[in-house]
């Protein structure tokens, strides 16, 4: 493969995570270190920044400050949820992107995100190929949902998993403090895939974990849920429940959105109110019980102070690999992880996957990893997830508060 | 003061914190190390354990395991919210307590808790004195609410403050990621005192803090709140708000409990739904705005992994001081902190305060530390609180998850 000199763009897209900036920094650093890449641009708010001709010149940033990106949560370049059109239907955006690529001599395009971002990446890759513009396009995976196809896991998932498991171990101490006991219900992100809700079960490794875990991979049955909670309550006078926000009834209706009877006080519930909703159901089912709904909300995807060092390192590796493989000639790919878990421990290597195969598929928790009753995960899940949360993060503190990156963001002209 | 040989009891009461066990361990260790104290008992669920003759023999615990208490959140001995009667009205409980004290030759009683616990402690102290039973009684402060009278601050507050400020700095990154912006509303504990809500403003030290902070020390005005949010939204297209759960209107009604008009969809709101409630108000006031309510809930009082080492060390010191001062002869006191903040930095020493003076007073944030508009705290607050959150916690991890204490809890016979 011949050497391709030119500039690179890196963009971040979708919901952020604790380590997406670590990937981004890995890519930026590899770009800055390379003789082939002439300039490193960061797209302001993902593909929207390309469309609006708003690119930050990363070469202008102070290297020491830039390095702090590695331990800064969320997307430092800004993100977007822009849905790019099918180029066969409307190629306006693609023409604009091509124009910008030509303007800045962009020969490398890296896109850091989840399912939708890989779809965007795939479409841009195919378009550039079709119009014969020589540009290498690589996707860098990111999603706390862990639902990207073809890769062992996704950067971002592991840190969210560590935060959730850690917080449950801690709240377990709190919720067991009174002799009266309580039911605690955690609401966890994951609309269609239950990886993060399953991660709650990692807390059981410490002896202080949830009794019940509900994933969207199986249908939710409210009567069985009440039965399960009641049974544990009668035995222990304390119940800890973890539920995915995406749990749904057999007919597909989300439990968080289902219209219920007038007697429970709900009309059409707000999204995100699932834990409170289930708390009310439990209160009605068990006389005088104290119930605490806890929603992790945004905290679970940006809690850098409780991120997994393994996750951060792997994210960085994925960003670096994207750029280094592109320089060597790779294009139209996503960086994935190939991992082994055996007697020698855990090992993780990057590999390249076809963008077309990755885009728009959702990887769910295997049903074999969910117990028969559908109210917990099996040991297989723990074996899978425990290596991913290893290592306490080496983030920077200043005044004993997080010291996050402050970029100059010099806009390219 | 003559030497008083005998056993000691330590009990924990009220809502737990990240460092109440550090205090408890400080007291237990001082007791175990002393020749004067013959036996160290931990009361199961505070005073309820004394009344029920359920005392754990701390001498039976493995010393290395016991030490892990120092970095275990919540109340390892169990807690209670038992309201003890006025002894002049009903002395049944006191007679029972005296009986237990005599049974185990208890000459030292330590009670670790907040306002109500100091009231219990005070009443027991006065009763033992009245009936002429020689027993030294000392309170060890604990409350994330930071509202105990006479002491510079309370163990537990600083760690909750650090967790809240850290989390806000992190969520700030997340909430600023999209070009559309959002309004984020944090709901923080503190029914009558706004210390913890004020602590949200510590995040501003990093440059990533809340725009608006509302404390229960001043009346809340919904119209002004809407005006304030709107003004910042128009300027920045992003607003971060921190509110104390205890904010109330001028007539004293809690905002979280107030009946509002039928149009906003609320009847009598549940406690703890304040952030969601305000989110709805903002959505109605600003067209098309995205609003995220986040409730810290129990997480803020047990997030050991983000506790303040200063807090943990001071909590330990308070527990040790209680026992050592009692051995020297002190009784009828609470351990308090006397602190200096000047050019030489921050210094904290223990001092003894009369229980009667401490019990049942609530210390609030001085109104001079709240700005005129009533929507933020002043620099004085930051100067007060910043030294308290210093130092990242040295807790124990196992499998990269928290390793918390597992006590044998051998019950005394």
Extended strands (E) in A312-384? 333-342, 345-354
> Average of pLDDT values for A339-360?
94
Q: ipTM of this model?
A: 0.96
Whether the predicted pLDDT of A260 surpasses 60: no
Give residue A359's pLDDT band: very low, low, confident or very high (50, 70, 90). Answer: confident
Which are the contacts of B407, defined by CB distance < 8 A and separation ≥ 6? B56, B61, B65, B66, B69, B76
Whose structure tokens read 């991660």?
Answer: A199
B138 touches B27 (CB < 8 A): no
pLDDT number for residue A184: 98
| Helix pair A274-285, A222-236: axis angle to 10 deg | 60
Cα of A373 to nearest chain B Cα, Å? 27
Across A278-287, A332-341, B119-128, B249-258, least confident range: B249-258
Chain B environment of A202 (Cβ under 8 Å): 401
The pLDDT tens digits of the residues spanning A92-140 come to 999 999 999 999 999 999 999 999 999 999 999 999 999 999 999 999 9
Q: Taking chain A, what is the end-to-end CA distance rounded to the nearest angstrom?
A: 31
- Quote the tokens at residue B69: 């208490």
Which residues make Cβ contacts (< 8 Å) with residue B19, sequence separation at least 6? B73, B142, B155, B156, B159, B307, B311, B312, B315
pLDDT of residue A396 exceeding 50, the answer is yes
What is chain B's alpha carbon radius of gyration, rounded to the nearest angstrom? Answer: 23
Inspect the interface and report whether the beta carbons of A45 and B178 lie closer than 8 Å: yes
What integer pLDDT is reported at residue A272 of this predicted model? Answer: 52
Tell me the pLDDT band of A2, cut-offs 50, 70 and 90. confident
Q: Using CA atoms in the order A168, A169, A171, A177, what is the torsion angle rounded to 10 degrees?
A: 150
B270 and A276 within 8 Å at the Cβ level: the answer is yes
| B294 contacts in chain A (CB < 8 Å) | 295, 297-299
Candidates A297, A300, A406, A407, partner chain B, best to mutate (most B CBs within 10 A) = A297
Residue B349, phi then psi, degrees to nearest 5: -125, 155
Active site residues of B: 145
pLDDT at A361: 85
Instruction: Record the tokens describing residue B223, joined without a space.
Output: 């119209």
CB contact under 8 A, B400 and A16: no
| Residue A259's pLDDT band (cuts 50, 70, 90) | low
Mean pLDDT (whole number) for A70-80: 97
What distance in Å separates the CA atoms of residue A241 and residue A391, rounded to the nearest whole number? 26
Dist CA B186 CA B196 (whole Å): 11
Query: Average per-residue pLDDT in chain A?
Result: 95
Question: Does the pLDDT of residue A269 top 80, yes or no?
Answer: no
Predicted local distance difference test score (pLDDT) of residue B361: 85
Q: Please tell me the predicted confidence (pLDDT) of residue A268.
A: 39
Instruction: Go through chain B and tell me how many residues it has.
Output: 413
Whether the model clears a pTM of 0.90, i.e. scores above it, the answer is yes
Q: Residue B149, Cβ neighbours under 10 Å: how many? A: 17
Q: What is the pLDDT of residues B159-195, one digit of tens each?
A: 999 999 999 999 999 999 998 899 999 999 998 999 9
Q: What is the pLDDT of residue A1?
A: 61
Tell me how long chain A is.
Answer: 413
The answer to whether the CB atoms of B184 and A404 lie below 8 A apart is no
Mean pLDDT of chain B: 95
Report chain A residues whose CB lies below 8 A from the CB of B48: 179
Closest CA to B178 of A21, A79, A19: A79
Beta bridge partner(s), residue A293:
A185
Give chain B's residues under pLDDT 50. 260-271
Residue B68 confidence (pLDDT): 98
pLDDT score of A356 more than 70? yes
pLDDT score for B257? 82
Going by C-alpha positions, the residue among B184, B200, B274 that lies closest to residue B232 is: B184
């Amino acid at each position: 493969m011949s050497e391709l000199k030119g500039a690179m763009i890196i963009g971040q897209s979708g919901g952020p995570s604790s380590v997406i900036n670590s990937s981004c920094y890995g890519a930026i650093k590899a770009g800055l270190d390379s003789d082939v890449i002439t300039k490193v641009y960061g797209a302001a708010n993902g593909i929207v920044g390309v469309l609006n001709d708003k690119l930050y010149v990363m070469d202008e940033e102070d290297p020491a400050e830039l390095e702090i990106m590695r331990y800064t949560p969320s997307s430092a370049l800004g993100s977007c949820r822009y849905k790019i059109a099918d180029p066969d239907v409307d190629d306006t955006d693609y023409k604009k992107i091509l124009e910008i690529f030509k303007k800045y001599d962009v020969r490398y395009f890296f896109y850091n995100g989840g399912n939708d971002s890989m779809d965007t990446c795939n479409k841009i890759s195919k378009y550039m190929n079709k119009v014969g513009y020589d540009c290498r396009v690589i996707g860098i995976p990111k999603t706390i949902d862990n639902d990207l196809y073809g890769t062992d896991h996704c950067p971002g998932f592991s840190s969210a998993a560590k935060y959730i498991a850690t917080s449950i171990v801690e709240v377990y101490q709190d919720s067991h403090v009174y002799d009266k006991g309580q039911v605690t219900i955690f609401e966890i992100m994951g609309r269609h895939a239950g990886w993060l809700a399953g991660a709650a079960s990692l807390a059981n490794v410490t002896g202080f974990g949830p009794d019940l875990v509900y994933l969207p991979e199986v249908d939710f049955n409210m009567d069985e849920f009440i039965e399960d909670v009641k049974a544990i309550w009668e035995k222990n006078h304390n119940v800890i429940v973890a539920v995915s926000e995406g749990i749904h009834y057999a007919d597909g209706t989300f439990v968080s959105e289902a219209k219920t009877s007038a007697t429970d006080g709900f009309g059409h519930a707000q999204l995100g109110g699932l834990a409170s909703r289930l708390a009310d159901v439990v209160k009605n089912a068990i006389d005088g019980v104290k119930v605490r709904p806890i929603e992790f909300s945004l905290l679970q995807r940006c809690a850098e102070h409780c991120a997994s060092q393994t996750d951060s390192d792997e994210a960085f590796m994925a960003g670096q690999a994207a750029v280094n493989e592109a320089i060597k000639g790779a294009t139209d790919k996503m960086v994935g992880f190939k991992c082994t878990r055996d007697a020698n421990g855990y090992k993780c290597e990057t590999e390249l996957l076809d963008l077309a195969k990755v885009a728009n598929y959702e990887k769910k928790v295997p049903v074999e990893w969910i117990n028969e009753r559908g109210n917990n995960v099996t040991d297989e899940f723990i074996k899978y997830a425990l290596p991913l949360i290893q290592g306490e993060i080496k983030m920077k503190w200043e005044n004993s508060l997080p010291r996050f990156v402050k970029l100059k963001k010099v806009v390219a002209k």
